Amino acid sequence: MAIGTRGRPRSFDRDAALDAAARLFWEKGFEATSIRDLTDRLGIEAPSLYRAFGDKRRLFEEAVGEYDRTYGGFIDDAFAEESTARTIALRLLAEGPARYTRAGLPRGCLVVSGDAGTTDAEVIGYMIAMRSANVARLADRIGRDVESGVLPGTVDPLALARFTFATLNGLAEAAREGVPVQELEAVAAVAAGAWPVSS
């Protein structure tokens, strides 16, 4: 069903347009994506785009949210379904290479690279906050496992969480550069091997 704007029906499907915008930003990043790129990809004129989504920055932030829900959910799934920080991390490292090289989709990760090259402080801050939230979430789980004796008391929760996500982010960037999935899997295996075993 078309969604009305000021009494007039929109001539496009907003959800489909948002998905298309997410894929375009995923391919090119915020800075390199122009309004012309967006109107061409979404099949709408600039006034319709502004009425539907506001300015480019607001569209980008909404598109990142759509990406996270639709394409990046493996991180949330791991946190929801695994019982320890170690199993979360090993699952992320195991699944990351395939997620970042899916057929028919841009390579890499929008959350990792979407703000590359931009000087827009709001966009940079928004993306850093998303990445930092993942690190903090894993650090919290690691800290709880250290306190409960599941992980050794010598583990630095924040350092280990940053190491894990730095590896994942590096895998995503390497995938964008065309590194084969088998090489990404080999790197992930090295990182998994560095994780401490349970006490």
Q: What residues are paired with 4 via a beta bridge?
A: 9
Q: Tell me the C-alpha distance between 178 and 9, whole Å.
A: 42
Q: Which residue type, as a one-letter code, is found at position 82?
A: E
Q: Note the pLDDT of residue 198.
A: 75
Q: Note the pLDDT of residue 4.
A: 41
Domains 11-68 and 72-193 share a fold: no
CA distances, 126 to each of 31, 72, 106 (Å):
14, 16, 21
Q: How far apart are the first and last CA of the chain?
A: 56
Q: Tell me the C-alpha distance between 108 and 9, whole Å.
A: 36
Question: Superfamily for 11-68?
Answer: Homeodomain-like (1.10.10.60)
**CATH architecture assigned to 72-193:** Orthogonal Bundle (1.10)
Residue 82: CB atoms within 10 A of its CB come to 16
Q: Note the pLDDT of residue 44.
A: 87
pTM of the entire predicted model? 0.87
Q: Note the pLDDT of residue 2.
A: 36
Domain boundaries, given as residue ranges, for the chain: 11-68, 72-193
Instruction: With CA atoms as reference, report the closest residue to 112 among 94, 98, 100, 95.
Output: 100
Largest CA distance in the chain: 64
Rounded CA Rg of the chain: 19
Each residue's pLDDT expressed in tens, for the chain with a length of 199 residues:
233 444 444 556 888 889 999 999 999 999 999 999 999 998 888 998 898 898 999 999 999 999 988 888 899 999 999 999 999 999 999 999 999 999 999 999 999 999 999 999 999 999 999 999 999 999 999 999 999 999 999 999 999 999 999 999 999 999 999 999 999 999 999 999 999 987 5
Q: Note the pLDDT of residue 95.
A: 97
Q: Note the pLDDT of residue 14.
A: 84
